[in-house]
Amino acid sequence: MVGQDAGWAHKVAAADRTDPDLTQELATEAELQAQAGRINHAATLLLWAAGLSPTRVQYEHHLITAATHLCMGQAWGRAQNLRQALQGCAPTARRDAVLGHIIVFTGEDPHTAEDLLAHARDTAPDTATRLLAGSWLGHALLQSADAPRAAAALRPVVDQLPPGNTSCFARGLLGTAASHMEPVGGLKVIAEAGLPERASQVTSADSPLLVWRGSLRTRAGRLAAGTDDLTTVIDRQRTDPGIPPAYIEFYLLAFAYHLTGRFQDAVISAEQSLLLGLVRPIMFGAR
Per-residue pLDDT of the chain (287 residues; tens, 9 = 90+): 445 667 888 788 877 788 788 889 999 999 998 888 788 889 999 999 999 899 999 999 999 999 999 998 878 889 999 999 999 999 999 999 999 999 998 888 889 999 999 999 999 999 999 999 999 999 999 999 999 999 999 999 999 877 655 578 899 999 999 999 988 999 999 999 889 999 999 998 889 899 999 999 999 999 999 999 999 999 999 888 778 788 889 999 999 999 999 999 999 999 999 988 887 655 544 33
Rounded to two decimals, the pTM is 0.86
Q: What whole-number distance in Å separates Cα of residue 174 and Cα of residue 168?
A: 10
Q: Give phi and psi for 11, each to the nearest 5.
A: -60, -45
Cα angle at 41 between 5 and 273, to 5 degrees? 125
What are the Cα distances from residue 125, in Å, to 97, 119, 121, 133?
13, 12, 9, 12
Q: How far is CA 44 from CA 51, 212, 243, in A?
A: 11, 29, 20
3-state secondary structure 1-70: CHHHHHHHHHHHHHCCCCCHHHHHHHHHHHHHHHHCCCHHHHHHHHHHHHHHCCCHHHHHHHHHHHHHHH
Q: What backbone phi and psi angles, to 5 degrees, belong to 233?
A: -65, -45
Q: Is 265 helix (H, G, I), strand (E, B) or coil?
A: helix
Find out whether 260 and 223 touch, Cβ atoms under 8 Å.
yes
Question: What does each C-alpha distance from 117 to 98, 261, 281 come to in angstroms?
Answer: 8, 41, 23
Query: Spelled out in words, what is the top-level CATH class assigned to the domain 76-186?
Result: mainly alpha
**Do 242 and 206 contact (CB within 8 A), yes or no?**
no
